[in-house]
């Protein structure tokens, strides 16, 4: 069946982390495919806790990100660009061919949009942002041929309007509805799944700590969290469909 994951549900495999890469690592391959999940979002006003990584606590010996809200220096942004640009460009090429518009130009432009922002989130969010922006730029250029996907919303438009104070009222209302969907999805899911997800995303526990707290295996804890994200995804999709 085509919808199945190409992986055997990552069963029987302990999700141990050997290392983590900072922003200096070389990333190749499909967009996001090799992004490290270690770096948590750093939003203004939010403390960063390097121990609450997606998977496993980051070994202390490896350079851990600094605390507090982050604004990347121009050097770091350049490193980010070198790291992410080939991935984004390759993704654009795969999705839309060689253009026009030229995939490399689009990637440049998408990074330009990133620079225009007042602050930066973590590398994972940046990747999503740049990819999303690049994709939207291509779609815009191809508007004559393509219809914007209903899923084609930007990461910034989910929940974010509630975090800022200069958002149009309409965006805030939509974000509130999204949060209601998130809560509805959480309410509907089995208790262990909900607890695992909340411990990870809200209490910022690492997968290992979530597993310990719930007295379950790490792989199981991981699965619960992935399923919870899936549930929320589907609930939000339903909301979007209803809004159509």
Partner 1 sequence: MRTDPRVSADIAQAAHECLARMSHPDATNEERRAFEIWLAADLRHEEAYDRAITLWAALDTLERGDIDADLLEPRAQPTLW
Options 75-83, 99-107, 111-119, 152-160: segment touching partner 1 (CB under 8 A): 152-160
Tokens for 66, please give them.
């600094």
Under 8 Å between Cβ of 199 and 189:
no
Angular region, 191: left φ>0, alpha ψ -120 to 50, beta rest:
alpha
| Nearer residue to partner 1 within complex by CB, 94 or 143 | 94
DSSP state of 55: S
For residues 226 and 244, what is the distance between their CA atoms, to the nearest angstrom?
Answer: 27
Residue from 135, 193, 218, 224 touching partner 1 (CB under 8 A): that is 135
Binding of residue 95 to partner 1 (CB under 8 A): yes
Interface with partner 1 in residues 200-229 (CB under 8 A): 201-203, 222, 226-227, 229
Interface with partner 1 in residues 2-31 (CB under 8 A): 2-7, 9-10, 15-21, 29-31
DSSP state of 203: S
Binding of residue 62 to partner 1 (CB under 8 A): no
Options 67-75, 76-84, 136-144, 146-154: segment touching partner 1 (CB under 8 A): 146-154
| Nearer residue to partner 1 within complex by CB, 34 or 142 | 34
Binding of residue 49 to partner 1 (CB under 8 A): no
Place of tokens 């939207």: 136
- Residue 149 CA, distance from chain mean position: 19
Residue from 23, 27, 50, 54 touching partner 1 (CB under 8 A): that is 54
Residue from 62, 158, 172, 216 touching partner 1 (CB under 8 A): that is 158
For residues 120 and 45, what is the distance between their CA atoms, to the nearest angstrom?
Answer: 12
Binding of residue 173 to partner 1 (CB under 8 A): no
Binding of residue 183 to partner 1 (CB under 8 A): yes
HSE-CB for 13 with a 13 A CA cutoff: 9
Helix (H) or strand (E) holding 213: helix 207-214
Size of the site for partner 1 (CB under 8 A): 77
DSSP state of 13: -
Interface with partner 1 in residues 73-92 (CB under 8 A): none
Binding of residue 119 to partner 1 (CB under 8 A): no
Among residues 178, 184, 181, 185, the alpha carbon closest in space to that of 163 is found at: 178
Binding of residue 142 to partner 1 (CB under 8 A): no
For the bound state, the minimum distance from the C-beta of residue 73 to partner 1, rounded and expressed in Å, comes to 22
Binding of residue 131 to partner 1 (CB under 8 A): yes
For the bound state, the minimum distance from the C-beta of residue 7 to partner 1, rounded and expressed in Å, comes to 5
Among residues 159, 98, 164, 96, the alpha carbon closest in space to that of 131 is found at: 96
């Amino acid at each position: 069946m085509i919808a199945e994951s190409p992986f055997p549900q990552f069963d029987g495999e302990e999700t141990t982390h050997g290392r983590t890469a900072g922003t200096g690592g070389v990333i190749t391959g499909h967009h996001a495919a090799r992004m490290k999940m270690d770096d948590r979002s750093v939003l203004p006003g939010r403390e960063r806790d390097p121990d609450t990584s997606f998977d496993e606590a980051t070994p202390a010996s490896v350079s851990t990100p600094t605390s507090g809200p982050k604004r990347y220096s121009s050097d770091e942004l350049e490193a980010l660009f070198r790291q992410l640009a080939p991935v984004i460009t390759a993704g654009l090429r795969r999705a839309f061919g060689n253009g026009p518009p030229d995939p490399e130009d689009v990637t440049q432009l998408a990074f330009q949009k990133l620079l225009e922002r007042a602050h930066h989130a973590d590398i994972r969010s940046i990747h999503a942002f740049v990819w999303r922006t690049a994709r939207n730029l291509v779609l815009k250029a191809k508007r004559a041929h393509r219809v914007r996907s209903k899923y084609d919303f930007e990461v910034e438009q989910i929940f974010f309007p509630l975090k800022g104070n200069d958002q149009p009222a309409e965006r805030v209302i939509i974000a509130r509805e999204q949060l209601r969907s998130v809560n509805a999805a959480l309410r509907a899911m089995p208790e262990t799944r909900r607890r695992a997800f909340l411990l990870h995303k809200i209490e910022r526990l690492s997968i290992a700590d979530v597993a310990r707290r719930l007295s379950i295996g790490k792989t199981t804890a991981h699965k619960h969290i992935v399923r919870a994200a899936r549930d929320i995804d589907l609930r939000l999709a339903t909301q979007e469909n209803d809004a159509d």
